[in-house]
Amino acid sequence: MTRTEGDSWDLASSVGVTATGVAASRALATKQPDPLINDPYADALVRAVGVEHSIRLADGEVCVEGDLMLDRQRMCEQIAVRTRFFDDFFTDATASGIRQAVILASGLDTRAYRLAWPARSVVFEVDQPAVLEFKTRTLAGLGAEPAAELHTVPVDLRDDWPAALRANGFDPEAPTAWIAEGLLIYLPPEAQDRLFDNITALSAPGSRLATEHMDTVAMSKDWSQRVSEWSRKVGTDVDLMDLFYSGERTPARDHLTEQGWNVGVQPTRAAYASHGFDYPDELAELAGDSGYLTATLTTAN
């Protein structure tokens, strides 16, 4: 289903399916011997959504040994590296004294529940109303309680989410740790720039930001074909390429640097190596200059 202006979704349709699929990958990785990550809620959330191919993914039933995209070890390494990057980002930010965090397009993210937040930490989750209502209700039914003061902000990121954030208690004078995980490729290029502009306007000096670094221009032409193949192999009728916004866009690193952020990018190969994993050469060729971005705002807006 190709994206349209003003489209909407839940966790079983369109972009929402990707949030459920990522949670399924976390569930699978959590079940492995000596896992690098532990998301104790992912499996139950995926089953509550009820999308068959995501449940099969969480159970490892779609894994194909030796397949570039579906090999169990590769799938678990990929999601573990990604998850730990953002987990460690919040851990480092709170260790530096930051007590306000925002998770943009939070989906089935459970960091507000499963990370060890210091006292007086406040976490804001921003996503579509139906997504937040489902997750909050399901986790409550599991007996899960937030490990920080949690504020859910039910608003579409295409609307005036900064106003909604403020209305829910966000303090723009306090340094903030922001994450935008698995989000940018689902935004039109101009919306990506606007997102970063809004983050910058809401950020006090010392605020931090983490997101993926994707240089879509440098990506292999075979990348889109591989992504579509993966969609078919896991059994979904949603082609991920239909959900992405194509077109030339300013890399996050460049836009944030222009806005006064001190930006660093960890290449994907280095992120894998930091956990003792080898990043497959074929994936490196497909993904181009990809990696994980962190940024710190050092001056007042």
Is the separation of the CB atoms in 233 and 271 below 8 Å? no
State residue 41's pLDDT score: 98
Rounded Cα distance between 97 and 91, Å, is 10
Listed residue (216, 241, 217) closest to 230, CA to CA: 241
State residue 74's pLDDT score: 92
Rama region for 107: left / alpha / beta (φ>0; ψ in -120 to 50; rest): left
With a cut of 50, list the residues of the chain below it in pLDDT: 1, 3
Rounded Cα distance between 252 and 215, Å, is 9
pLDDT tens, position by position, 83-131 = 999 999 999 999 999 999 999 999 999 999 999 999 999 999 999 999 9
The secondary element (H helix, E strand) that includes residue 293 is strand 291-297
Rounded Cα distance between 66 and 82, Å, is 21
Rounded Cα distance between 247 and 228, Å, is 18
Rounded Cα distance between 179 and 192, Å, is 14
Name the pTM for this structure. Answer: 0.92
State residue 11's pLDDT score: 80
Rounded Cα distance between 61 and 72, Å, is 10
Structure token digits, residue 174:
């306090």
Domains and their CATH numbers in the chain: 14-297 (3.40.50.150)
